[in-house]
Chain A
């Protein structure tokens, strides 16, 4: 079956670094996405990895290891506005997104 696993909730301190992990098993693979979702809002795109390695985009970086079925999202210099749910999604062989349940990130001052 298809499965996406990510932690339910994480807590971090403002100004610190946090890494949100995601493991996936899908029928075929066409890339791994990370989205940010604030409560009551639709997801907003953060990153897309289809090749192994680290992609850096400002304070956010995303890593992919296809052989391990593993990705992480790294957030640096955390700000209070980064408090949100972070959704990991894998695109399968039919180009459909298989979504994780999301990781709720709580930022404390």
Chain B
């Protein structure tokens, strides 16, 4: 099956620093990738939809200047949390939608756990 990787899997950073998370589709080209955030014991919340070669579409309430998304190639999307604060500590998960398959198809990455001190 299709594989999506994320790097890093764990990151601890100081408040005020920026953190970049990578999401890669390893064996397929993904024109669309999704970024989710999940707080403990809560549901996944879609943050933004990333389309290769164009600007990301952010969900209501998500600051686009704080969560920078770049989908520069068909296999890579990055999420940069700028000036991270403790309340940004969360589990960040990406998913990728391969072309040529139904729109219901998404493959999830393993997630990145961010802890901001």
Interface residue ranges, A against B (CB under 8 Å): 4, 30-31, 33, 40-45, 48, 50, 87, 89, 91, 95-97, 99-102
Contact = CB atoms under 8 A, between A and B. Distances in A.
A48 to B, nearest CB: 6
Main secondary structure of the interface of A (DSSP, over half): loop
Contact of A42 (B42, B49, B109): B109
B40 to A, nearest CB: 10
Given A30-B103, A30-B104, A41 B110 contact: yes
Q: How many B residues touch the partner, as a band?
A: 10 to 19
Contacts of A48: 104
B110 A42 contact: yes
Q: Which 9 A-B pairs have the closest CB atoms?
A: A99-B43, A95-B103, A42-B111, A101-B43, A99-B44, A42-B108, A42-B93, A42-B110, A31-B104
Contacts of A44: 108
